Every structure is written in structure tokens, then in C-alpha cells.
């Protein structure tokens, strides 16, 4: 299937921070790459089923079974400009991990690259969001609102990522899709209305196109896209840390990605937990990465 990455993938200021496992199709050196894949094997604040630290390499393994040519987009991924730096070496302190993610994604973005981050838990997204311009819109797929001010005494807990993103981007810039788990504390927050939460029920009743049109009404020119795999229904993505029934479909997730791909400046897939998976979640995560890069590179319609 896909080819293994070549060895000329790292720049000096980044190479000592990463291991060297590669995603298939990552055959471009860093200097020539448009997309820079890296893993963050961290799940230190996970609150239910831990194990998302194992996800980056599990997603890479699933990706090995995907073809390097995607006929839906007419894209050869071997020519798409993909580099994989491997997994970021991380410790147990979430603040240090988030700071390191901020540092490395900042280096990538300043170099004109699109970071593609493989979590790990959702807390790591905050590091990447710290680098995006204030006029950027953020789209999140997630079962949970993740809108707590703090959880178990930690403001960088994975249950707080949307709240931290709001502090960075400001009101009206965040669209979270697939919501179906919210605490009373979050719902009663004075900040709640500053984020547009599309419930999974709303997506089913109105269709994903309704959410797309509402986001488009903001005329977003730059987008950061974060996928918490538990936003997708557990019948399609069972291998997650905090599963919630009645989620959005994988096709809904793909529709969001393919519609907005050409404006996405950063992308992550988080909260996949291999030890609870039957293989479907890792394969879906790998395919969603191909959907992102393929539709961003494509000059043709999906269909």
C-alpha cells in the first residue's frame, strides 16, 4: 500500500524532540513539505479510559493499509508534500506538554507548513491554538463541550480545551459539532453563548449542511480543525477514551473536512484509544487525515 517515509524529514531545531516512526506517504523532507505530521503520545489528564498516548503509532499502522492514490480526489499522496517528524517526546506535566506543542507548531507555521497533529488527549490542541491568528475560526468535532473552567484542579485538563480556546480566539470564533455531553456548570456559564455548539441531535435533524452554511456565514478565511474521535458515533468509532452514544456520522465529519479543507491552517486528530478499539477507529482516523490532505490538494469535486 503506502510507502514508508524517507529519512530527510527533520530540520535541526525540531529533530531532537521527536522519535522517528513515519506515516506512510510521508516521503518529503521538511524543507519541501506542505504538511508536517507529528504525534503527541500524552494522556496524563484523561478522566475515564486512558490509552490515547498509544494512538499516534496505531493510526500510522492503520494508514499503512490505505492506498497512496485517492481516486475520489485524484490525489497521489506521495506527491502531496507530506513529512512526518515522528512522536514528540513528552513527560507527565500537561503544562510542559502544551508549551512544547505550542513551540513546535509555531516553528512549523512560521515555516509555512500545515501541522497535522496526532494525539494523545485533547489538551494538546491548546498548544497549537496559541499560534493561530486571532481572525482564525476553529471547528471542533466533539461529543463533549470541554467547556469547564477547570477540572480536578487543572485548567489544562482535556475537559477544558474549548474554554481555553475561547480565551485565545474570543467570542464567535469557535464552532463545536456533535455535542451531547455537557455539565450543568458549563451550561450555566456566562461564557457559554460565546461558542456555537451544534448538538448531534441538531445535526441529525437539520443535516450537516445546515452547520456548514452557518459557519460559512462568518466568512472564515483561516480555520483550525480539531477532531476528537468521540464526536463520531461509537458504532463507527468505538476506540475512544470517553465514548458517548448518538454521535454524528463519519460521513458528516468528512463533509465538514472536505468543505473547509482549503482554508485549514492546522489540523489534529485526538482522543483515539487503541486498547478499546476493534480497528475501526484507527482506520477512520487515518482516512480522515487522507480526506483532509486529499481534499485540500484536490482540483476536483469529491464526487
pLDDT tens for 23-62 read 999 999 999 999 999 999 998 777 778 889 999 999 999 9
Please report the pLDDT score of residue 7 as a whole number: 47
Contact 58, 120 (CB under 8 A): no
pLDDT tens for 210-243 read 999 999 999 999 999 999 999 999 999 999 999 9
Does position 67 have pLDDT exceeding 70, yes or no? Answer: yes
> Between the CA atoms of 62, 63, 69 and 71, what dihedral angle is there, to the nearest 10 degrees?
60
pLDDT tens for 124-149 read 999 999 999 989 999 999 999 999 99
Please report the pLDDT score of residue 167 as a whole number: 96
Of residues 9 and 152, more confidently modeled: 152
Instruction: Give the closest residue to 133 by CA, choosing from 106, 160, 113.
Output: 106
Relative orientation angle of helices 250-260 and 208-216, to the nearest 10 degrees:
30
Does position 302 have pLDDT exceeding 70, yes or no? Answer: no
pLDDT tier at 81, thresholds 50, 70, 90: very high
Of residues 302 and 24, more confidently modeled: 24
Please report the pLDDT score of residue 5 as a whole number: 46
pLDDT tens for 173-223 read 999 999 999 999 999 999 999 999 999 999 999 999 999 999 999 999 999
Please report the pLDDT score of residue 20 as a whole number: 66
Please report the pLDDT score of residue 303 as a whole number: 44
Contact 56, 120 (CB under 8 A): yes
Please report the pLDDT score of residue 151 as a whole number: 84
Instruction: Give the closest residue to 132 by CA, choosing from 159, 158, 164, 156.
Output: 164
Does position 301 have pLDDT exceeding 90, yes or no? Answer: no
% residues pLDDT > 70 (the chain): 92
Q: For the residues 72-82, what does the mean pLDDT come to?
A: 96
% residues pLDDT > 90 (the chain): 83
Which domains does the chain possess? 12-297 (3.40.800.10)
Angstrom distance (rounded) from CA 248 to CA 16: 39
Angstrom distance (rounded) from CA 125 to CA 105: 10
Please report the pLDDT score of residue 18 as a whole number: 66
Residue 83 burial (CB < 10 Å; 0-12/13-18/19+)? buried
Please report the pLDDT score of residue 225 as a whole number: 98
Q: For the residues 58-73, what does the mean pLDDT come to?
A: 95
pLDDT tier at 11, thresholds 50, 70, 90: low
Angstrom distance (rounded) from CA 117 to CA 104: 11
Please report the pLDDT score of residue 8 as a whole number: 52
pLDDT tier at 156, thresholds 50, 70, 90: confident
Please report the pLDDT score of residue 155 as a whole number: 87
Amino acid at each position: 500500500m503506502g510507502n514508508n517515509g524517507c529519512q530527510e524529514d527533520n530540520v535541526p531545531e525540531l529533530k531532537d524532540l521527536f522519535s522517528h516512526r513515519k506515516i506512510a506517504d510521508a516521503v518529503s523532507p521538511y524543507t519541501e513539505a506542505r504538511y508536517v505530521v507529528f504525534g503527541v503520545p500524552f494522556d496524563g489528564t484523561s478522566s475515564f479510559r486512558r490509552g490515547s498516548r498509544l494512538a499516534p503509532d496505531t493510526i500510522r499502522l492503520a494508514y499503512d493499509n490505505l492506498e497512496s492514490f485517492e481516486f475520489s480526489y485524484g490525489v497521489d499522496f506521495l506527491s502531496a508534500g507530506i513529512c512526518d517528524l515522528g512522536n514528540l517526546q513528552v513527560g507527565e506535566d500537561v503544562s510542559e506538554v502544551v508549551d512544547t506543542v505550542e513551540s513546535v507548531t509555531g516553528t512549523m507555521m512560521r515555516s509555512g507548513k500545515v501541522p497535522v497533529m496526532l494525539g494523545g488527549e485533547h489538551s494538546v490542541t491548546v498548544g497549537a491554538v496559541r499560534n493561530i491568528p486571532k481572525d482564525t475560526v476553529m471547528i471542533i468535532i466533539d461529543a463533549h463541550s470541554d467547556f469547564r473552567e477547570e477540572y480536578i484542579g487543572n485548567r489544562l485538563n482535556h475537559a477544558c480545551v474549548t474554554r481555553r480556546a475561547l480565551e485565545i480566539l474570543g467570542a464567535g470564533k469557535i464552532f463545536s459539532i456533535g455535542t451531547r455531553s455537557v455539565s450543568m456548570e458549563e451550561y450555566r456559564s456566562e461564557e457559554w453563548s460565546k461558542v456555537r455548539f451544534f448538538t448531534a441531535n441538531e445535526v441529525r435533524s437539520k443535516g450537516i449542511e445546515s452547520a456548514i452554511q452557518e459557519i460559512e456565514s462568518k466568512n472564515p478565511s483561516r480555520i483550525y480543525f480539531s477532531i476528537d474521535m468521540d464526536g463520531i458515533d461509537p458504532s463507527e468509532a468505538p476506540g475512544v477514551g470517553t465514548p458517548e452514544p448518538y454521535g454524528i456520522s463519519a460521513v458528516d465529519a468528512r463533509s465538514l473536512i472536505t468543505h473547509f479543507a482549503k482554508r485549514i491552517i492546522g489540523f489534529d486528530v485526538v482522543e483515539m484509544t487503541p486498547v478499546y478499539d476493534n480497528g475501526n477507529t484507527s482506520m477512520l482516523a487515518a482516512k480522515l487525515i487522507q480526506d483532509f490532505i486529499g481534499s485540500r490538494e484536490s482540483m476536483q469535486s469529491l464526487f
